[in-house]
Structure 1
Amino acid sequence: MAVKTIEELFIHELSDIYSAEKQLTKALPRLARAADNEELAEGFRLHLEETQGQIERIDQIVDLLDIRLKRIKCAAMEGLIEEGKEVIDAIEAGPLRDAALIGGAQKVEHYEIAAYGTLAALAKQLGYKDALPLILETLEEEKATDEKLTLLAEQGGNQRAAQQRDAA
């Protein structure tokens, strides 16, 4: 697909993150089931609800701007989700898997933060004043989720994984 204007770039990027969020809604329940730590599992379940709200915001942006999304599949999210499946298959349930799940979830959040940051910059450039607050709201949610994951890791998740290593 040839992108020739900044408007087309915005639509392409919005279409890409829409695909990413849709893929994530299918992956989060699997991650919640794979988590040993109940706080982590609950975090995945809560992020599913948040992600569904983010998809609704994208739908609002589409309506506000009277645009059509492209039917594309976000290859980056597909790869990140595949990595998560590999973690689940390769690491026994417990603190080590949880540490790996947190790391994988943070990769997803960092991708989403970059995507929504790009969309915000494009929306500003294009003068999409009504869409910008919706994009920024999602960007802040993604940053907050990343911070929560960091806290989970720092407040014992990684330490429990290290203790599991020491016991082996």
Structure 2
Amino acid sequence: MKIESPKDLFIRLLSEANSAEKQMTRSLPKMARAADDEKLVEAFKEHLEETRAQVERIEQVVDSDDSIRLRRIKNYGMESLIDEAQELIDNSEKGPVRDAGLIGAAQKVEHLEIAAYGTLATLADQLGFTQAKQLLAETLQEEKSADEKLTKLAKNDVNRKAG
């Protein structure tokens, strides 16, 4: 896809975000199964539900303006982060050390998504996509909250067990 305008960039980045969220809907159940700490397992399951809602929200963004059409674009950054998480799972035993690594892997994902949604919300605002901006800002806040939750879980529980 050739990017010649801010709107082209918006569509490209929204398409990448859509790809990322769909990849995460497949990855989060694997991460939940690989985790040992019950609070971490629950955090992954809760974020899966949020992620499904975020996919629906992207569809609402598309529906908010007839000129927005998603492209079939793979988010290779997300694919790489998911591959890293799988490598961690494959090379560690279930327990506190793996859990600490899974939190780190999940936070890498959250940071990628925070950057993506922050950029998208700003572009939506500049392009006059008011409803899209609100929807994307909602997702941005969820991603920030997920990151904060993971940080607290690491500091207050998982990392201590990993010792």
State the TM-score, normalizing by the size of structure 1. 0.95
Q: Which runs of 5+ in 1 are unaligned?
A: 163-168
For the pair 1:118 / 2:119, whether they are aligned, the reply is: yes
Indicate the percent of aligned positions where both proteins have the same amino acid. 59
Between the aligned partners of 1:114 and 1:156, the Cα distance in structure 2 is 27
Match in the other structure for 2:47: 47
For the pair 1:152 / 2:153, whether they are aligned, the reply is: yes
Using the TM superposition, give the Cα deviation of residue 141 of structure 1 relative to its aligned residue in structure 2, in angstroms. 0.3
One-letter code of the match for 1:78?
Answer: E
Between the aligned partners of 1:27 and 1:127, the Cα distance in structure 2 is 34
Match in the other structure for 1:79: 80
State the TM-score, normalizing by the size of structure 2. 0.98
* Secondary structure of residue in 2 paired with 1:62: helix
Which stretches of structure 1, 4 residues or more, deviate above 3 A after TM superposition? Answer: none
Between the aligned partners of 2:93 and 2:131, the Cα distance in structure 1 is 47
* Secondary structure of residue in 2 paired with 1:131: helix
Between the aligned partners of 2:47 and 2:56, the Cα distance in structure 1 is 14
Using the TM superposition, give the Cα deviation of residue 2 of structure 1 relative to its aligned residue in structure 2, in angstroms. 1.4
Counting only pairs closer than 5 Å after superposition, residues 83-162 of structure 1 correspond to structure 2 as: 83-162=84-163
One-letter code of the match for 1:7?
Answer: K
Aligned residue pair count: 162
Q: Which runs of 5+ in 2 are unaligned?
A: none
